[in-house]
Structure formats: C-alpha cells, structure tokens
Amino acid sequence: MPAPIYLDYAATTPVDVRVAARIAECLTSEGVFGNPASLHGFGRAARARIEQAGEAVAALIGTEPADLVWTSGATESNNLAILGVARGARERGRHIVTSRIEHKAVLDPCRQLQREGFQISYVDPDRDGLIDPAAVAAALRADTVLVSIMHANNEIGVLQDIATLGAECLARDIPLHVDAAQSVGKLPLDLRQLPVDLLSFTAHKIYGPKGIGALYVKRRRRAGLQPLLFGGGQQRGLRSGTLPVHQIAGFGAACELAAAESAAEAARIAALRDRLWTGIADLPRVRRNGHASRCVPGILNVSFPGVEGESLLAGLIELALSSSAACNSDSDEASYVLRALGCDTPTAQSSLRFSLGRFTTAAEIDIAISAVRREVLRLHAVAP
Ligand SMILES: *Cc1c(COP(=O)(O)O)cnc(C)c1O
C-alpha cells in the first residue's frame, strides 16, 4: 500500500529541502557550529548566521530582529508572554482576558496564573468562531494587565479581528498578546500596521524545523517581561541558553521562502480546500465548522453528524489527518473549540480537521474526496 496522504499540516509540516540545506550548514566541524556567544571567529560566524536569520524572520512580520526573542516554539513563546507579562505586572493588577478557543499553550499558562491569584475572563466566540472585539472590550477592567487572543485558530482556521482588538487595548494601554502560530507565513501580517504588543509564532508550521520559535515583544513592553529561564543571560536576560544556530538558520530560511511564495501558495491551497469541500458537501448532514471566508486557506473542519469520528478516522486508511487538535488526540474528549461554537458533544466527536499545505496536490484531494465519501456513506448504512 502506498504511503498515506498527509492532510495534517496544521499539526506540523515537513521541512522544506531548501530549509534542510541551510540547517545542515550549521552542524558539523566543516560548518558554522560555533557558540554565538564566543568571541573568536567560530562564534563570530555563528552570530552572523543568527543575524541573517533574524532579518528574515523579523521582515516577515514587519519588525526588527532586536524585537524578537528566540524560543523553543510557540508553546514557550505563549508561556513567556503570558506568565512573563502577568508576573511582571502583579502589583498593578491580576486580571487577564482571553478566549474559550485558545490553544492549550495559552489556556494552561492562564490556569497556572489562576493558581497564583489571577482572575481570568474567557470570552466566548459566536457560532462561526469569531470573537467580537466589543465583547473583549466589555471584559476589560481597571486591573486587567493582559489580553491574549489568537490570530488563526488551529482547529477551525478562523481569523480574529486583531486590528480592532489591538485598537481597543491600545486605547486603554493594556498589552495585547497574539498567538499567530497558524497565520505567520501563511497570510500577510505586518506589525507596522497592527497594534500588537507580543506575538508568538513557530518554525514547524511553516516548513521549518521543530523546536524553534520566536516571541515578538514591543520595545516598550520589554522591561515589564519576567523571564522564565535564568542562566547565561543570553537574549538580554529574557531567555537564557545557548542559541541553537542551526534551528534559527532553518527558521530564517523558512521565513524567506514564506515571504517569496506564500501569496501564490495561499491562493493554490485555498482552491484545493474549496475543491475538497465541494467534493464532500452533499454528503448526508455534513456541516462545515467555522467562518467560511474569515479563515486561513489550509484548514477545513467538517462535522459528519450520525457518524462516529473514531470509526471514520479508522476507515480513512489512505489519509493521515486528525479528528481535532493534535495535542488533544490522546484523550477522546470532544473538541472544546467546537463545543465553544455551540456544537453538541456527539457532533463535535464526529468532526475531522483536514489541513492542506505546500505539498498537497489536486490528485491527493481527489483521493481524499473518494475516501471520505466511501467511509461516510458506509458508516451511515451500518448505523443503527
Ligand atoms: C502549533 C501551535 C502552538 C504550539 O506551537 P509549538 O511550536 O508546537 O510549541 C501554539 N498555538 C497554536 C495556535 C498552534 O497552532
């Protein structure tokens, strides 16, 4: 049997071979393996690679390398932003506003802050997954020290109105953190135009390596940020630890490719997503989850009421995809994101997330359509 078709790009992407080549240059004794903190030539060469990558990563989001902190990925960036800002501000206030549909890497640090005496307000999305900026504004209080709202949701792909949210926060001088792990490198995102104070993103969702990400911190918020890691004082003391030159070089290469190719790629991927939806939309009782136009191109979330998601997934042997967020797949709980949109538990459990990317072809989508049609019709036929 041939290898299954990969439709799980929202969980992770393969490293682009052009990125892999740049990573490989920074590993062995023939390459740029030095410690960027060293003062000799090996260190200098490593620093140059990091500066080059920093320019590419910063340019992709419209900022400067000095405003980035390298982290191990969006999970760490979210933790640094949320725990760092909140703990730094605890004498001024202990209230945070976020949403019900954030990634666990936002919700769990918020839960930790609750244990540390903070109060968290969770704003609900509407049935399409949109968060009303007015509802966020209404949740703000005199003691609110942080707002954290994601850009693109990882399960349904819905995009939030960051410009309006940012304006609301700016007017009250409350820092806004945005988890942009699913949108950076896929859609234009320009921090010269957007009033965002902190922004998390990661390389492995954009054809770079796993284990490297960044947190953008607006200059005037830097002093208020408490570090999570202490040690050698690298990165102005905000995140100690020897910089992983190969990972950062790979992240930079991935961002260069995204800058050059993402506009054309987004159009191509959106067309494939539409082809997939058109091919399955007439199946009995199917419904698409999340706003159909305010979304990233690569994610299609569909419920198949009356069909058990587990059985459907098991029957789709030629496809590799997730029933929900990859991070939740250990538990068979229904997706809290779909539940927040008003889906009942059985419907949420009947849902699949198809996510497409750089290497998805029309031929693969056609195979996926036939497989889904076959399995959904078969499961409806055997249903009690
Ligand atoms: C993948 C993802 C994360 C976690 O990123 P890692 O780099 O894997 O830690 C956080 N938030 C969102 C929205 C994601 O999609």
What is the CA(75)–ligand 1 centre distance, in A? 6
Tell me what the mean pLDDT of segment 72-82 comes to: 98
- The tokens describing 176, both together, are 């806004």
Q: What is the pLDDT of residues 1-22, one digit of tens each?
A: 788 999 999 999 999 999 999 9
- The candidate with the shortest Cα–Cα distance to 300, out of 160, 185, 157, 128, is 157
- The candidate with the shortest Cα–Cα distance to 200, out of 32, 83, 316, is 83
What is the CA(343)–ligand 1 centre distance, in A? 24
**Which helix H or strand E contains 74, and what residues bound it?**
helix 74-88
**Amino acid 339: pLDDT:** 96
Q: What is the pLDDT of residues 184-224, one digit of tens each?
A: 999 999 999 999 999 999 999 999 999 999 999 999 999 99
The residue nearest atom 14 of ligand 1, judged by CA position, is: 181
Active-site position among 110, 295, 327, 343 = 327
Q: What is the pLDDT of residues 60-71, one digit of tens each?
A: 999 999 999 999
pLDDT over 60 (residue 31): yes
Mutate to test the pocket of ligand 1, among 15, 75, 355 (most ligand atoms within 8 A of CB): 75
- The candidate with the shortest Cα–Cα distance to 180, out of 232, 166, 34, 170, is 166
What is the CA(181)–ligand 1 centre distance, in A? 5
Ligand 1 and 298: CB distance under 6 A: no
Q: Which fold has domain 17-256?
A: Aspartate Aminotransferase; domain 2 (3.40.640)
Q: Which residues pair with 56 in a beta bridge?
A: none
Domain segments of the chain as ranges: 5-12+262-382, 17-256
> With pLDDT > 70 as the criterion, what percentage of the chain qualifies?
98
- The candidate with the shortest Cα–Cα distance to 70, out of 175, 260, 209, is 209
**Amino acid 333: pLDDT:** 77
Triad 265, 268, 273: Cα angle to 5°: 120
- Please give the full DSSP string across 84-146, using - where no structure is assigned: HHHHHTTTT--EEEEETT--HHHHHHHHHHHHTT-EEEEEPP-TTSPPPHHHHHHH--TTEEE
What are phi and psi for residue 146, nearest 5 degrees?
Answer: -160, 140
Ligand 1 and 75: CB distance under 6 A: yes
Triad 369, 371, 375: Cα angle to 5°: 120
Q: What torsion do the CA atoms of 146, 98, 199, 60 make, to the nearest 10 degrees?
A: -140
**Amino acid 171: pLDDT:** 97
Q: What is the pLDDT of residues 347-376, one digit of tens each?
A: 999 999 999 999 999 999 999 999 999 999
Counting from 1 in the atom list of ligand 1, the atom nearest the Cα of 75 is 9
What is the CA(54)–ligand 1 centre distance, in A? 20
| Contact indicator for 182, 205 with CB cutoff of 8 Å | yes
What is the CA(114)–ligand 1 centre distance, in A? 22
Ligand 1 and 150: CB distance under 6 A: yes
Conformational region of residue 73, where left means phi above 0, alpha means psi within -120 to 50, and beta covers everything else: left
Counting from 1 in the atom list of ligand 1, the atom nearest the Cα of 73 is 7
Instruction: Return the DSSP state at 384.
Output: -
**Which helix H or strand E contains 373, and what residues bound it?**
helix 362-382
Ligand 1 and 74: CB distance under 6 A: yes
pLDDT over 90 (residue 383): no
Question: CA 332 to CA 318: how far, in whole Å?
Answer: 22
Ligand 1 and 213: CB distance under 6 A: yes
Q: Which CATH number fits domain 5-12+262-382: 3.90.1150.10, 3.40.190.10, 3.30.260.10, 3.40.50.2300?
A: 3.90.1150.10
Active site residue 327: yes
Counting from 1 in the atom list of ligand 1, the atom nearest the Cα of 213 is 7
- The tokens describing 330, both together, are 């250990």
56 to each of 222, 254, 295, how far by Cα in Å?
21, 9, 25
Question: CA 141 to CA 127: how far, in whole Å?
Answer: 26
Question: CA 49 to CA 252: how far, in whole Å?
Answer: 9
Instruction: Return the DSSP state at 22.
Output: H
What is the CA(81)–ligand 1 centre distance, in A? 14
> With pLDDT > 90 as the criterion, what percentage of the chain qualifies?
95
Q: What is the pLDDT of residues 296-332, one digit of tens each?
A: 999 999 999 999 999 999 999 999 998 864 445 455 5
**Which helix H or strand E contains 300, and what residues bound it?**
strand 299-303
Ligand 1 and 181: CB distance under 6 A: yes
The residue nearest atom 10 of ligand 1, judged by CA position, is: 74
- The candidate with the shortest Cα–Cα distance to 321, out of 206, 155, 73, 186, is 155
Tell me, letter by letter, the H, E, C secondary structure of 23-62.
Answer: HHCCCCCCCCCCCCCCCCHHHHHHHHHHHHHHHHHHHHHC
**Amino acid 384: pLDDT:** 72
